[in-house]
Each structure stands twice: as structure tokens, then as C-alpha cells.
Amino acid sequence: MCPAPVADESARGFIIPIGGGEDRVKEMQIHRRFVELSGGADADIVVIPTASMLEETGPDYNRIFSSLGAGKVEFLPISRRSDCNNPEFSEKLDNATGIFMTGGNQLRLSAILGGTLVVTKIRRRNAEGVPVAGTSAGASIMSEHMVAGGQGNESPAEGTVTLAPGIGLTNAVIIDQHFTQRNRLGRLLTASSFNPFLLGLGIDEDTAAFIGPDDMLEVIGSGTVTIVDASEMTHSSMWDAKPGQALSLLGLRLDVLGEGCRYDLKARVGYPPDDPVVYSAGPDTDA
């Protein structure tokens, strides 16, 4: 699934995967930046709490964004696929200046939203310039290929990660969350070995990757974003590995980005804070 096409006169909106566990009480810098990108006092933010089974999730994010100065905040109580056909929800997404997907269970999120009008609206609105953020499960589902499950704290091995279709806001990366806290490097390396075209993004808690319309990623938050680039991998044993067998992956490149660092997803080059960015056409990818 490719990202929705962008009209000639438009720029794609920010894509903002968050690693979960974000600060919701003190500085709230990730949420604050999202509100600013959504229009601040003129913002019309729509929260989609579908991944969560908790009734308070939607109202909680309404409170957070309102406290940060967002002009209008609403949540869509979508708990079954039939809810996605609600014309009122469709109208709210048409008017949204920011869309936020909460954490929970990414398979619940994909099973309820996948292939519906709601997902079509999210993709189109992002192509029209509306920022879309998602935390934890809401981050994983953003990519075309979604990490649906797998064991942490294990070496790369066949069968340690399960993939499922996401909503395709980007088809250039695959995203994992709660990354350092749940020791998920092994499963991200395994996921990256399936197709070296994809960049693996491992996002820590209270950390976000703000991916702009120019395909430049900026890290905001207290943790790091780990980027796995397998494009120049010289050898992979994935294709003939038996279930549970450890993988050989040679020639991988790994970058770890703290707050303020940037990464050019096209050129596959990272930059420290305040370093001038040298733009490059890079490989022909969409993000």
C-alpha cells in the first residue's frame, strides 16, 4: 500500500510515531509540538482511541490537548467496524487539522479500522497536509508493514517477529515502539531482514520521530530513536532459516539518535543537533 498521492500544490503532513509512555503531566513536549503543528488555538484535533480497551483513554487525550491550548479536541468512540461508517465521524475527519491515534493493541486497531472509510480519510487528510500522530500501537500501524507481535530480549531469529498490514502512511519504514524498555532490537533486526528496502525505526518511550514532508526525521523526547539500515547488507540467512534459528545478518548499519538529531530518510544520513543538513535526492523511496 503506497501513501495517498499528494496534489501538486500541497505538502504531505507530518507523520509522528511515538514510542509510548509519553510524558502527559510535566513538560508534555511531544504533545505540545503536535498541538502547534495542528494549529494551536485554531487546531481541530481528532483523537482515535480504538486501540485501547479503556473508556478513559479518549477523554484523557482530550484533556491533554485542550490544556495545551488546542482550540477544539474531540475523540471518535470507534469500537467496531460498523462505527467506521458513521457520517458524523467522517465529517469530523474532514475538518480535522490534526489526527492522533492512541496506544493499546495494534491488531485491534488494524482489525477494526483496516480497509474502512476512516483509514481512507486519515490517509487523504495526511496527504493534504494534516499531521497524523500515533503512540505505541498507534505508531506501529502507521507504516505499510506493521510489527504485530514478537518476543523482546532475543537475538535475531526466524519467527521472533510477526508482521501484518498497516495503514500505509509511509512505505519506507517499519516501526517498533517501547523499544529500549522492552529490549526489542532483535525483533526489529529480524523485521528489517525481511526486506532491506525498509528502514527500521525503534522508538523509545517518551520519544517521537517527527517526519516532515521533506522526509527529514527529527527526534523529540527523553529517549532515542534507533534506525536500522539494511540496504547495504552483504549477507542474510533469513531466506533459508528454520523456525527459531538464529540469523546471520552482515553489513547492517545502525544509528542511534537522541533529542534534536535528524535523519534524512531519502539519503539515509543522520545529523547531530544544529548540524547543517546537506539534502540529497537519495534512493527513490516514499515516506
Q: Is the dihedral of CA 256, 262, 268, 269 positive or negative?
A: negative
**Of the residues 67, 154, 222, 237, which is catalytic?**
154
**Of the residues 145, 178, 192, 236, which is catalytic?**
178
How far is it, in rounded angstroms, from Cα 75 to Cα 96?
Answer: 11
**Of the residues 52, 110, 136, 193, which is catalytic?**
136
How far is it, in rounded angstroms, from Cα 113 to Cα 123?
Answer: 12
How many residues are present in the chain? 287
Contact 175/134 with Cβ under 8 angstroms? no
Active site residue 10: no
Active site residue 178: yes
Mapping DSSP onto H, E and C, the string for the chain reads CCCCCCCCCCCCCCEEEECCCCCCCCCCHHHHHHHHHCCHHHCEEEEECCCCCCCCHHHHHHHHHHHCCCCEEEECCCCCHHHHHCHHHHHHHHHCCEEEECCCCHHHHHHHHCCCHHHHHHHHHHHCCCCEEEECHHHHCCECEEEEEECCCCCCECCCEEEEECCCCECCEEEEECCCCCCCHHHHHHHHHHCCCCEEEEECCCEEEEECCCCEEEEEECCCEEEEECCCCCEECHHHCCCCCECCEECCEEEEECCCCEEECCCCEEECCCCCCCCCCCCCCCC
Q: Which residue type does 18 have?
A: I
Positions marked catalytic = 136, 154, 178
